[in-house]
Structures are given as structure tokens and as C-alpha cells.
Amino acid sequence: MPRPRRAQHCCRETALFSMANVRHLILLLLYCDGMNTETTPSPPSDPVFTTRKAVSKEVCFADWATISWHAGQNQVITEELAILTPQNIELLCNLTDIPNNPPNITGYWAKDGQEIENSEETVNRINEQYVLKKTFSIQARDLGNYSCIFRENKAQVTFVLDVPVIKDKRDKPVVSYTRDSVVLECKLKYTPNTWNWYKANNTEKIFNNGNRTKLTILNLSEEHSGKYICSAVFDIKPSESYIELKVLSYTEPLKPFIAIVVEVIVLVTLILLWEKCSKPQHDSSSAGENDVCSEQTTKLTRDESNGVENNTARRRKLDD
């Protein structure tokens, strides 16, 4: 049963990963050791933050995850850890329920697929568990995928250590119009020290909105089109994403609109014209004007046995 251990350092947390072979319940508890090289070691009784040196944005968290993993599946289980500040992290893998219960097994650590030198350890069985742990000092260049691998049964867990990734990226550009305004936004769960926005691969910073995740541009013009990079600055490394902006002039949608309106006008004119042209043939109210017309009328009236046409037929016959 993993427990958070609060010790001398800032909330000391250990990453613990328990693997079992048959019907496994894997408990993952993350501890992060927030010891920063800048701070002085604090006496045990001191509360956590007073010993820190102006790094108030440092985040310590405990992450619990329960995953079931069935025997025979060689899945690689991955857990993502968001690292905001340079720190020491202890990663712990706990393996249980191996068949045959050997007294000891060997395990090693790998970073980004490459085995870390001198990381191989022989793990003894303690209380039916095999615990493999290692402390890593993480700076900006140390971010990556760390895996603990047990040689015997090839069980493997990967911890992905990275700055928080800005998800929700639009792959289509944001479209807006000249003299309109637009809001560009990068969404992130964690609050960075500051946000920076850059335009189009220049290193020149154009807007610095501090804590704002949104960039508002008023009174757009065509020069505003292009790629905008939003950068969330953390202690360890900034996390970046980009948004593309396209500014159109009003004539753009007018083209299909005018085309459709012209088509409608043409259609309506054609329809009404066609009806007018074919109207004289149907118009039989003036008898005798068109020989074909009155012929049709008398023919029809003779065919009708009852109904309206009787009277008119009689009248027509009288007229003829």
C-alpha cells in the first residue's frame, strides 16, 4: 500500500509502479522530490515553502492511477508526468506475483530506448514484491522517456517526463476579416510563469501578455496573416504551440455570393418568361381568337358529362 511520505524536503513523492502477472492491479503513485539545487536544506520541522527560494510556482502532486493488466499481454504501459521545474524524481517499479517466485531478479533503466549505463540492479524479493527504484535529476536536457525493464519476463513501464503539452491544436487556420478582431488562444492545464507570443519564426517578441493565454488582435489587416507561436514559459523549459491566422478581405466570400445571386436571378427570369410564353396556349377565355384554343375547349366540354362545363357547353353551342 503506497503512502505519501512527507519528509525533510518539499512534498516528497515517489513514483511507484506495481506490476503483477495474473490479474494485476497496478497502483501508480507518483512522488516528486522537489529538491532544487538552489535551495538550502531545511530543518525537518519547517513548513514546506518557506525554504524555497522564490520558486513559488513549483508544483508537487500525487497522481494515483489504477490499471488492470492481464497476463500474456506484452503491452508497454505508459504514464505521463508533467514536469514544470528542474527537480529530482524518484521512479519506483514494484513487481508482484511472478510465477516460480525466484529469490531475486534483475532490472535496469532505459532513457528513450537506450539502456542507461550502470543502472542494472539485482532486486531481492521482499514481502512477495520486487522493488526497483532510482532517483533521477531532471534538468531541461534530461526530459524524455524513462523505462524500468525487468529482464526475466520483459515487463516494462515507461514514464514520459515532459513539460505540459499544449493540446487542442487546430490544424486548420483561424480565418478572420480585415477590420475585424480576432482572439488567438492556447489552452493549458497548468499555469506557466508567463506567456509569450511570437510571430512567424522571427525571434522578435511582439506581444507579451503576461499571464494571458489569449492574444487579441484588433483592426486586422492582411499583414497580420501568418503563423503565431504561443510559448508557455516554465522553469524548466517553455512549451510551445502555434496557431495559423488567415486574414481575408471582404471580397472573398462575395464572389460565390454574387455568383449564386446571379444564378437565382437568371432562374427566376427564365421561369417567369417560360410561363409567359406558354401562357397564350392555355388562355382560352377569349373564344375565337385562337382556332386551336376554341377547338380544344369545345372538345373538352363535350367530353364532360356533368359538372361545371354543362352550362358553358350549352352557351358555347348557342354562340357557335
Partner 1 sequence: MMEKPKKTQEEEQSPPQIAAPDGGWGWVVVGSLFFSSALVFGLIRSLGVFFVEFVQYFGESAQAVSWITSIGLAMQQLLSPIAAAASNVFGTRPVVMLGGFLSGLGFILASQATSLLHLYLTMGLISGIGWALIFTPTVASVMQYFAVRRSLAMGLGFTGIGLSSFAFSPLFQYLVEAYAWRGALLVLGGLSFNMIACGAVIRPLGKPNVVLKTENSSKLNKCSSLLSRIYEGFELSLLSHRGFLTYSIALTFFNAGYFIPYVHLVAHSHHIGFTEYQAAAVISVTGVVDILGRVASGWFSDLGKMRMPHMLVVWTGLLGLSLMLIPAAVVYSGLIVVSLMYGFCAGAMTPLAFAVVPEIVGMERMLGALGLLQLIESVGGLLGAPLSGWLKDHTGTYTVSFIAAGSFLVLGTLVTMTLPYFWSCMGPPPPSPPKRKSQDGSIEGGLLTQTLSSNSAPDTLCPLNDIPYSDKE
> By the criterion CB under 8 A, which residues form the site for partner 1?
172, 175-177, 180, 183, 248, 252-254, 256-261, 263-264, 267-268, 271-272, 275, 282, 284-285, 287, 297, 300, 304-309, 311-312, 315
Q: Give whichever of 202 and 311 is closer to partner 1, judged by the CB atom.
A: 311
CB of 226 to partner 1, least distance (A): 16
In 3D space, the residue among 17, 6, 90 whose CA is nearest the CA of residue 45 turns out to be 6
Q: What are phi and psi of 82, to 5 degrees?
A: -95, 120
Find the DSSP H helices in the chain: 251-282, 291-303, 309-319
Q: Give whichever of 7 and 175 is closer to partner 1, judged by the CB atom.
A: 175
Place of cell 543502472: 119
Sign of the dihedral defined by the CA atoms of residues 222, 226, 232, 235, in that order? negative
CB of 68 to partner 1, least distance (A): 18
Buried b (16+ CB within 10 A) or exposed e, 106-136: ebbbbbeeeeeeeeebebebeeebbbbbbeb
Residue 159, classified by CB atoms within 10 Å of its CB into exposed (0-12), middle (13-18) or buried (19+), is: buried
In 3D space, the residue among 308, 286, 312 whose CA is nearest the CA of residue 298 turns out to be 312
Q: Give whichever of 42 and 298 is closer to partner 1, judged by the CB atom.
A: 298
Q: Give whichever of 61 and 257 is closer to partner 1, judged by the CB atom.
A: 257
Q: Give whichever of 22 and 258 is closer to partner 1, judged by the CB atom.
A: 258
CA distance 61 to 31: 7
CB of 317 to partner 1, least distance (A): 13
Q: Give whichever of 131 and 220 is closer to partner 1, judged by the CB atom.
A: 220
CB of 165 to partner 1, least distance (A): 22
CB of 245 to partner 1, least distance (A): 11
Hey, what's the cell of 307? Answer: 359538372
CB of 188 to partner 1, least distance (A): 17
Share in percent of the chain as helix, strand, coil (round to 5): 20, 40, 40
